[in-house]
Structure formats: C-alpha cells, structure tokens
Amino acid sequence: MNFDFTDDQRSIKSTAKEFLAARYKPEKLRELAEAGEYDDAIWNEMRELGWAGIFIDEEHEGQGLGTVELVILMEEMGYALAPSPFFSNAAAGLLIQHAGSEEQKRKWLPGIASGEQPAALGEIRNGSAPLVPDAGDAAVIVLFDCDTAKVVERSAAEVEKVDTIDSTRKFASVSADGGEALEGDVQGGLDRVATALSAELTGVAQRTMEMAVDYAKERKQFDRPVGAYQAVSHRCAQMLMEVESARALTYFAAYAADSEPDELSLAASTAKAYASDAGWRVSASSLQVHGGIGFTWEHDLHFFLKRAKTDGHLFGTARQHRDRVAELSMARVGAPA
Amino acid sequence: MDLTLSADEEAFRDELRTWLEENHPGEEPKGDEEEAFAFRREWQTKLHEGGWAGVSWPKEYGGRGASLIEQAIYSAEMVRSRAPSPANVLGLAMGGPTVIGHGTEEQKERFIQPILSGEEIWCQGFSEPESGSDLASLKTKAVKDNGDWVVTGQKVWTTFAHHSKWCMLVARTDPDVPKHKGLTYFLMDMEQDAVQVRPLRQITGQAEFNELFLEEARIPDENVIGGVGNGWMVAITTLMNERSGLAFGAMAQVRRDLNDLIELAREHGVDEDPVTRQRIAQLHMEVEALRINAYRGLTAIMKTGQPGPEGSLGKWAWSDINQSLTEASTEIRGPEAPIIDEAWTYRFLRARANSIEGGTTEILKNIIAERVLGLPKLR
C-alpha cells in the first residue's frame, strides 16, 4: 500500500513545474491571454519533451506512460494556466487510443503523439458541438455524443470561432455530417478526459489558493495582515480542504485508470464533479480575499477564475457528473427495491 | 501508487474476518446503560483472549505490533462487521500508548496489562468548564504533601468516569510559570471519596459523559507520567494518539452510514428523486476524498514519520460529513424526521458534537491556517 508518486513521476512533475514557470511568466501569460493566442515555440518545446504523446503506446510513437503521468502534467498546466493545445490534443488522443480500431490508431495516434497533426475533442449537443477547445487549429476532430464517437478531418468539418470567458484557451463550434465511427471503449476514453480536466482544475485551485494566502500575509488593514483575521484565515483553510480533496480524488481516478479499471467510471465522475466545484469556489474565494484589486482586469486572478469556470462546464458539469456518481455508487449498495 | 494489500496484509484481514465471524457478540443491548457496559466489557475480554485488543501496541506489552496499514484494516473490519466498541476505548487508544511512550518500567508493569484485559477502565480528565479549546489554561491544581499530590478542581466531558478505575489527569503544579509549562500528567485512582462523579446528560438524552469534582483527591508521586512540569507534552501525545487511532474507524463508519442512508432513501421511495440523488452523490464524493486523503496521510507517515498537511484536514472533514450525512437522513424521512427512530435519531443528534469534541472545527482551521498555510497568528 503506497499512495505516492514514483521517483520518475516526481521528476516529471518537477520538470513540468520548472519548465512552465519559466515559459509562462506573468507578463507572458497576460500577453497571450489578452491576444487570445498560444506561443508556438513553447508548444514545440513541449512536443520535443514528449509531452504530447505521454500516455500514447510506444508502438504508436508515444511515451508509453499512463494516466497518472498525464494527470501530473495537467495539474502543472493548470497551475501555470498554460495557454496551449496540450489538453485538447491529449483528450482526442485518449478517445482514439481507447475507442479506435487498430487501423484508426495507426492512422491518427502518431500525429497526436508528436503534436504534428494535433487533434481536438468536442461534445455533440442537439446535432452539433457548440464548445470545442482548439478545433480551429486541429488536423482532426473527435466528436462524441453520449457513448458514441466519430473522427472527422478538419477539412470535412464546419468550424467557427467561439468567444468564451476563458481567453487562455481557444474555442470553436463544430458541425460535421460524416466521419468514421470509433467503436471501442468510448466511455473509458471520456473517463480519462474527465480525470485530466480534474487535474487541471486542481492546479488552478492550488494556484489561486497560493495567491490568496500570499496576499493575506502582505495586505494590511487595521494595522494587521488581513490573514491574521479568522474570517480570512478560515476561508483560506477551507480552500486547502477543497484543493487537497480535489487532488486526492483526481489522483485516485488516475490510479484507477491505470490499475483498477473497474473503479474508473465512478472515480472519474467523482473527481470531475468535486474538482469542478472546487475550482470555481476556491478561485472565487481567492478573489474575495484579494478584495477590490481582485476584481480588476489588471490583476491576473480573473484569468484563473475564468479557466476554472470554463473547465467546470467542459465535458460534463458538476451536476451531470454527480448524477452519474449517484447512479454508480447507489448500484453498489444492496439490491435496488 | 498502489492501493492493493500485500499477501501478509490480506492474511491479517482474513484472519480477523474469520475470527469476527466466529466471535461476533451481536448487537449491543439498548436501554440499560449498565447492561450495555457489561456487554462491552465482556466483548473486550473476548478480544483480549483472541489477541485482538491493543493491536497497535508493541508485542512486548501484550499488543499485536500491527503496522499502520494493519491498524487501518483492523478499524475498517470492526466497523464493517458492526462489532461493538470495547469497554476500555480510552485506555486502549490513549492511556496505553501514553504509558508505553512516557511511563517508567514500574508504571508499564503496573498499568498496561489491566488496560488490555478490560479489568481496569480508563477515563480522561483534561477539559474543564473554563478550559475547552484553551486547554493549557486549566485551573485544577495539584500540591505536594507528604510524598503525595493533593488535587482540587473540576473536570468535564469525562467519558466513562463512572466505570473507571484510572483517570489520565492533567493538573497545574506550578502557577508561577507560563501556562503550558506548569502542568503535570497524573494517573489518578478514581476509587476515593474525594472524587465525585456526576453524569452529564447530553442532547441525545444519554449520559456518555460526566463532570468530575475533585476535593483534595490524593495521587502518589509514583503516578506522575513523564515528569513534573511536562504535562503539556504528554497530553499532546495522548491527543495525537486519539486523532490517529480514531481516524480509520471514523472513515469506515461514514462509508457504512452512507450505505445505510442509501437504503433509507429506498425505504422512503426517494431514491429516484434527483435532489436526493445529488445529495447522496455529494456525500459519496466527500467520503471518498476522506478515504483517499487518509491513505495519502498513511503513506506520508510511513515515508517521513510525519503526517502531511492533508492529515490535519481529516477530523474536520469527518465531522462535516457526518453532520451532513445525518441531516440528509432527516430530509429523507421528511415529516417523520422528528419522530424518534432507533437507527437515525441518536446519530443525527450525536453528530452535533463531532465538530466540538477532540478539537473544534474552528481550532482545527486555526491550526491549518497557521501551521500549514503559514498565515500570521492573531494573538
């Protein structure tokens, strides 16, 4: 029994943290967020590090690691609020890896693993996908509707840019009639996508909690740091509770994906429901600790807050995932009447 | 990451399961308190004879020398099988480990064995009417007289005082030094006229706790634990044992109670109601977070000897969950909720104490803010 990362996993985490902190300094992040752009040079460096294909099998030119390693990267991406196509490409890759035929995997995974032919994933609602991250620059798009999914080439899809509150990620709406069906384990892919997003939400929450704590130590009112007042310090303690719980549930879902697949569906929805709420609540609570300055465009906090809100609604809201948690967890208790 | 049990751990669990199947005493009798306590005492004798009392204690003191994981398995299995608590809960969880950690050889010789067998029941005299969260401000005083200590004062929330032979008592032996430094930890014989026990009735109607009135009670000098003036340090060990010893049991208990809640929802025909389902899902998420954080804490203790920051969150999380879970039972029972029900009324009223006993949620938040997040102290 051991619930901790291996030395290799720990080194992936520290490399990612250092790399992302050096590349996405506050000025850089703001510049990209205000322009609604990514930095191709940084994305190319990530590709060279092998991140794009971290979980993809070696036979399809990936690193052959697992969901745990993907989650480690995603948490750091959230912490850095990295504007990049990393998540979208990985999300589509997860679907093809778990639901694609051998032929489909051979066709698409190498381009996803290298990031040369980046992919994107979208959820169809009433016939088309209204909110697909990074569809605009993708070579291939995976679209799913409940537990069915298909792959369409970018050229065969109608893609239109969508403006969202989260300017650190690009979104588009997609509609496409044709495409090749993915006939394997769509749900297994989606559960891993939800787990990856939970990790990103955990990273965002961790960062906004740290911002609140740092500010509460510095900012003085009535001659004391505001963090000395229990109304503020207990708010920060609550943030830690939610961040550590989101992290625990996310790591467990990743562990289940790699080692206890029967637990994955319940664990993934548990993580995504919790992290969606925690991401929003912690970043909103951090804004409150910051007071007026936290409401200004000039402060970086709002970029995090908006990513948290957007992630919370992407690929299943907290409410939808709770519905699924209820269904799966209640089925385990006794026999339904 | 690996949450599977080793072959040895599985063998430990299977041995315990088999033993429990053969020796489970059934449900604790309800109603008569004396009868219930006698039942628990008998259960402890059985546990002791089977080698299942004091599992965390070192073998040389009659324990089983169980690893942290085995202790976790033990707590989980006890809850799962709905086994009653042993009579000497506080002696096993706190008294024994404190004597083993801080006692002299003579003290270990004298006190350890009867704790395990349940022959001598222990209680804890820490809190006072004026000293709750600010425990170190306690006023009960002990004065040296002819080789004995003479103790006068009042204690409160003393579980099982009326059944106890020994009390883990913290008293002020030096009023002239800073408050944490003037305290001493004693083992006080409860069987003397100078010790008066008065039951304290709680909101559930039961009297699990007592008030203790000490009017020149006598304690021989050889019953000081850990040296005069070191009472605070020894008391902290006792409290740490309380938190870690009870953590895995508490975690297993909320999981079992959530299962009961799901059955309750079915009985009341609200298991398809979307609001109820959202609430059950939320509880499942929080119970899972508590469980996994306990594993993370366990891993941290095994690696570094120290619980990580998530360790301090457990007791707080557990009390929130148990309150929310038992409140959900009243929502499910609807208009029937105020009617006294054997399964749920006690649970939902008793849960109100969870955020007070063993460190209030407010104090735990202070600890987290100051020691984990490094926020400044107000004081």
Whether B159 and B223 share a structural domain: yes
* C-alpha–C-alpha distance, residues A45 and A40, integer Å: 9
Q: Which residues of B touch A3 (CB under 8 A)?
A: 1-3, 292, 295-296, 298-299
Average pLDDT for chain B:
92
- Are the beta carbons of A55 and A90 closer than 8 angstroms? yes
Is B242 one of the catalytic residues?
A: yes
Cβ of A270 within 8 Å of Cβ of B288? The answer is yes
Q: What is the mean pLDDT of residues B308-317?
A: 79
Structural domains of chain B, count:
3
Helix ranges (H only) for chain A are 7-23, 26-35, 40-48, 67-80, 86-99, 102-114, 186-218, 230-259, 264-290, 301-313, 318-330
Residue B378 domain-assigned (yes or no): no
Q: What is the mean pLDDT of residues B259-287?
A: 98
CATH code of the region A187-330: 1.20.140.10
Same domain? For B191 and B266 the reply is no
Q: What is the mean pLDDT of chain A?
A: 97
Identify the weakest region by mean pLDDT among A63-72, A263-272, B55-64, B211-220: B55-64
Residues B242 and B225 placed together within one structural domain of the fold? no
pLDDT at A229: 97
pLDDT in tens, B160-170: 999 999 999 99
pLDDT in the model for residue B229: 96
Question: What CATH code is carried by the domain that includes residue B166?
Answer: 2.40.110.10
End position of a domain, from candidates B172, B197, B229: B229
Q: Are residues B197 and B81 in the same domain?
A: no
Asked, for residue B1, whether it belongs to a domain, the answer is no
Note whether A232 and A289 are within 8 A (CB): yes
Average pLDDT over residues A246-265: 97
B102, B117, B132 — which closes off a domain? B117
| Radius of gyration (C-alpha) of chain A in whole angstroms | 20
Q: Lowest mean pLDDT: which of A23-32, A83-92, A288-297, B359-368? A: B359-368
Residue at B76 is within a domain: yes
**Out of A238, A246, A326, closest to residue B280 by CB:** A326
Between the alpha carbon of residue B81 and those of residues A28, B24, B84, B90, B192, the distances in Å are 58, 8, 9, 21, 39
CATH code for the domain in which residue B344 is found: 1.20.140.10
A220 touches chain B (CB under 8 A): no
Q: Average the pLDDT over B219-233 and give the result.
A: 96
Within the 59-88 window of chain A, which residues sit less than 8 Å (CB to CB) from chain B?
68
Using CA atoms, how far apart are residues B191 and B27, in angstroms rounded to an integer?
A: 31
The pLDDT value recorded for residue A255 is 98
Report residue B244 as tokens: 């870690």
CA proximity to B315, closest of B251, B379, B235, B238: B251
Q: Which of B257, B362, B373 to mutate to test the interface with A (most CBs of A within 10 A)?
A: B373
State whether residue A231 sits within 8 Å of chain B by CB. no
Grade residue A334 by pLDDT with cuts at 50, 70 and 90. confident
Percent of chain A predicted with pLDDT > 90: 98
Is the ipTM of this structure higher than 0.85? yes
Tell me whether residue B62 is exposed, middle or buried, using C-beta atoms within 10 angstroms of its C-beta: 0 to 12, 13 to 18, 19 or more. middle
pLDDT digits (tens, 9 = 90+) for A311-330: 999 999 999 999 999 999 99
- Amino acid A28 reads K
Mean pLDDT over A240-252 rounds to 97
Half-sphere exposure of A255 (CA within 13 A, CB side): 19
Cα angle B324-B327-B330, degrees, rounded to a multiple of 5: 155
Residues B87 and B193 in one domain: no
Residue A331, pLDDT score: 96
- The verdict on a CB contact (< 8 Å) between A240 and B372 is yes
Please state, in angstroms and rounded to a whole number, the distance separating the CA atoms of residues A216 and A227: 4
Q: What is the mean pLDDT of residues B250-268?
A: 95
Residue range(s) defining the domain that contains residue B30: 7-117
Average pLDDT over residues B98-126: 95
Any B CB within 8 A of A260 CB? yes
Helices A186-218/A301-313 angle, 10° precision: 160
Which of A27-31, A159-163, B309-313 bottoms out in mean pLDDT, i.e. has the lowest? B309-313
B240 contacts B266 by C-beta, under 8 angstroms: no
Contacts of B153 (CB under 8 A, 6+ apart): B128, B138, B139, B140, B141, B171, B214
Output the pTM of the full model.
0.95
Do B280 and B332 lie in one domain? The reply is: yes
Same domain (yes/no): B359, B243: yes
Q: State whether B268 and B335 are in the same domain.
A: yes
- % of chain A at pLDDT higher than 70: 99
Q: Each residue of A131-181: pLDDT tens digit?
A: 999 999 999 999 999 999 999 999 999 999 999 999 999 999 999 999 999
Task: Tell me, yes or no, whether B186 and B86 share the same domain.
Answer: no
Is B133 in CB contact (< 8 Å) with chain A? no
pLDDT for B309: 61
A241 vs A257: CA distance, rounded Å: 24
Q: Is residue B252 pLDDT above 60, yes or no?
A: yes
Residue B106 CA to residue B360 CA, distance in Å, equals 36
Which pLDDT score, from 0 to 100, does residue B103 have? 96
Q: According to the model, what pLDDT value does residue A41 have?
A: 98
**What is the average per-residue pLDDT within A101-112?**
97
Strand, coil or helix: A2: strand
Write out chain B in H/E/C secondary structure: CECCCCHHHHHHHHHHHHHHHHHCCCCCCCCCHHHHHHHHHHHHHHHHHCCCCCCCCCHHHCCCCCCHHHHHHHHHHHHHCCCCCCCCHHHHHHHHHHHHHHCCHHHHHHHHHHHHHCCCCEEEECCECCECCCHHHCCCEEEEECCEEEEEEEEECCCCHHHCCEEEEEEECCCCCCCCCCEEEEEEECCCCCEEEEEECCCCCCCCEEEEEEEEEEEEHHHEECCCCCHHHHHHHHHHHHHHHHHHHHHHHHHHHHHHHHHHHHHCCCCCCHHHHHHHHHHHHHHHHHHHHHHHHHHHHHHHCCCCHHHHHHHHHHHHHHHHHHHHHHHHHHHHCCCCCCCCHHHHHHHHHCCCCCCCHHHHHHHHHHHHCCCCCCC
Residue B2 inside a domain? The answer is no
Could you say which DSSP state residue A185 is in?
A: -
Last residue of a domain, one of B199, B229, B259: B229
Q: What is the DSSP letter of A125?
A: B
Whether B46 and B81 map to the same domain: the answer is yes
Q: Would you call B373 and A337 a contact, using CB atoms and an 8 Å cutoff? A: no
- pLDDT classification of B378: cutoffs 50, 70, 90: confident
CA distance B272 to chain A (A): 9
Q: Provide the pLDDT for residue B310.
A: 60
Which alpha helices (DSSP H) does A133-185 contain, by range? Answer: none
Question: Which positions 360-379 of B are in contact with A (Cβ < 8 Å)?
Answer: 362, 364-366, 368-370, 372-378
Percent of chain B residues topping a pLDDT of 70: 97
Q: What is the pLDDT of residue B214?
A: 98
Do residue B254 and residue B184 come from a single domain? no
Q: Is the pLDDT of residue B11 over 80?
A: yes
CA angle B256, B258, B264 (to 5 degrees): 110
pLDDT of residue A335: 60
Q: Let me know: does A201 contact A78? Beta carbons within 8 Å.
A: yes
Would you call A236 helix, strand, or coil by DSSP?
helix
Q: Is residue B147 located within the same domain as residue B88?
A: no
CA B56 distance to own-chain centroid = 14
pLDDT of residue B358: 83
pLDDT band at A337 (very low <50, low <70, confident <90, very high): very low
- CB-based contact B277 A330, cutoff 8 Å: yes
- Nearest-5° angle of CA A75, CA A77, CA A81? 120
